[in-house]
Structure 1
Amino acid sequence: MTTMLVTGSHGWVGTHICRLLAGQGHRVVGVGRRPQTMAGRYLQFDLHDAAAVDVALDEVRPDVVFHLAGATPQREPEVGRLVADCVGGTYSIGHALRTVARRYRYRPRLVLAGSSAQYGAVPWEQNPVSEQALPRPTGAYGHAKLAAEATAFALAADGHIEVVAARAFNHVGPGETVGTVAGALARRIADVAAGRSSRVRVGDLDAVRDFTDVRDIARAYLAMAQKGKSGDAYNVCSESGVAIRTVLDILLALANLDHSVVDLGADRGGIGHQVGSAGRLRGETGWTPRIPLRQSLRDLLAEHWSGPLRSGGETTKGAT
């Protein structure tokens, strides 16, 4: 039985990957800062506590570590804290894993969750973005994630551990928070459909993003753990550009609403167009996304509203 340790196990992606791993018969050990309960074993400690990290990894001796913990672009903290979380946390878990690997003479693997924010604003004509694109982050989050990736690869340079790094594009699906564009739209539309609000305020609808269901992203991380090449980074994406306007249209249709409830704001800025290429991941692991965007959005909306949702030509009830 393979032992899989997941940092950030109760986060959005962490919850899905723990469920996937347990379903495939792996021994799953979750890690987080706060008290939690889960089906497998759970360890509570702070990744900034080097002694606690060393003790935990020495006891568990994981075959694979999925490092998902850290700040998110939606909850980007003060820059010092951001760097400490992304870079310091990666160093802490990677260094402890390397120490255990040397002590017990085995070669574990670290799967690092990175972000398409590492690429920054790539010119439209250079989309879809491949791993060969020169990273030019435009914000602190992208810089911190890029530095974390470099830190992980440096720790693996002498061959004691293996490291594969994901550069995941936009996630979507069940469990999504209101800090993301799809999560925010789903909540606002659910509020209107349920009578809790009368208007759906939106920002820039022309921005184009590459959405992948969070459950497919969990599958991609597992594929990287099993078949990825150590020392490589992999884009995790659908390779399909979708305007935010399309996301809005799908959610409105699912909730049986029209555009008369929409207030268009003036919010613009950030990256206008970003679509990835998943050719490396597909070619080396066989991974492809399975869940269509409409299903992802339907599952997301159902978490916010118990009313009838359209599915194809039929109307069904949402989650309670």
Structure 2
Amino acid sequence: MSTVVLFGATGFLGRQVRLLLSEDPRADRLVCPGRAELDLLAATPADVAGLLRFTRPSVVVNCVGRMSGGHDELLRGNAGVTALLLDAIAAVAPGARYVRLGSAAEYGPGEPGRSQHEDDPARPTSPYGISHLAGTLMVEQAGAVDGVSLRLFNLVGPGVSTENVLGRARELLRTASGHLDLGPLGAMRDFVDVRDVADAVVRAAFARELPARVINVGSGRAVPVREAVTLLTAVAGFTGEVRESAPEHSRSRAVSWSQADIGRAWRVLGWRAGTPLADSVKAMV
């Protein structure tokens, strides 16, 4: 019997992962602890070990994390949670597969025209990227746990967070009249649909072997943010002016180019993104 424990099942990506797992015959039993049952951001090692001892999972998927906050909040949310789960799995569920969600921010600035490969040096330029890199390094060095860290690029699609530039634009469009004030939109980003990413997560959960502990998950194509915003405004029927006058987000300012090398995802997981950006944008409105 295959038991999957999924943390963060109500979040942007977690909802999509839960939907796929609930329909997957390989997941005989799906356990989705809510915050009331176990809040990973406040849990102790004993709390996590107790839950895993009770559920006896063959797979643990973590969709819990922090996208904003101070250094301490980011480290606790992205690296601390990883440490808790790795220790608990090693202690009470040593045969379980662990899937964590990392970020393209771990790489830092990309070289224009070049895809970022998993073996490239990681040089994060933000506390967010540093916190995710710390979690990924833990997975890489956790020899006692069969773990993988998926480096996710820019997720879009239904339910997108306002932490994402397209999510912020969508929220502003709901009350915009003659103009829309955004930050500079000249950066190049690798946008990938959240539903495609959920498919990659499930593939990683059930892959027979994982010869690599870090796998990029992106579309493999960098697109100007301005182009993505233009798609969004067209779908929303907005005919006003888009102004690039608001302060630029610190993460965008530090990284002007981001594009995933997705060869490893195909070789290891048999996965490629299949949803066009236009369809992802339509699903947001």
Q: Residue 313 of structure 1 corresponds to which residue in structure 2? A: none
Q: Which runs of 5+ in 1 are unaligned?
A: 36-42, 302-320
Which of 73, 77, 81 matches 1:81? 73
Q: What is the CA–CA distance in structure 2 between the aligned matches of 1:147 and 1:255, rounded to whole Å?
A: 39
Q: Residue 38 of structure 1 corresponds to which residue in structure 2? A: none
Does residue 44 (structure 1) correspond to residue 38 (structure 2)? The answer is yes
Partner of 1:249, secondary structure, is helix
Cα offset, 1:266, TM superposition: 5.3
- 1:32·1:46 contact (CA, 8 Å) conserved in 2? no
Question: Structure 1 stretches (4+) deviating beyond 6 angstroms?
Answer: none
In angstroms, what is the RMSD of aligned CA positions? 1.7
Does residue 162 (structure 1) correspond to residue 146 (structure 2)? The answer is yes
Structure index of larger Rg: 1
Residues 1-320 of structure 1 aligned to structure 2 (within 5 Å)? 1-25=1-25, 26=27, 27-33=29-35, 35=36, 43-46=37-40, 48-72=43-67, 76-102=68-94, 107-125=95-113, 127-155=114-142, 157-158=143-144, 161-192=145-176, 197-227=177-207, 229=210, 231-258=212-239, 260-265=240-245, 267-268=247-248, 269-301=253-285
Q: What is the CA–CA distance in structure 2 between the aligned matches of 1:60 and 1:282, rounded to whole Å?
A: 32
Cα offset, 1:226, TM superposition: 2.1
Equivalent residue pairs, number: 277
Partner of 2:278, secondary structure, is helix
Q: Normalising by the residue count of structure 1, what TM-score does the alignment of the two structures yield?
A: 0.82
Q: What is the CA–CA distance in structure 1 between the aligned matches of 2:88 and 2:269, rounded to whole Å?
A: 27
Letter in 2 for 1:113: L
Partner of 2:60, secondary structure, is strand
- 1:45·1:52 contact (CA, 8 Å) conserved in 2? no
Q: Which runs of 5+ in 2 are unaligned?
A: none
Q: What is the CA–CA distance in structure 2 between the aligned matches of 1:277 and 1:141, rounded to whole Å?
A: 21
Asked which structure has the greater RCO (Cα within 8 Å, sep 6+), the reply is: 2
Partner of 2:215, secondary structure, is strand
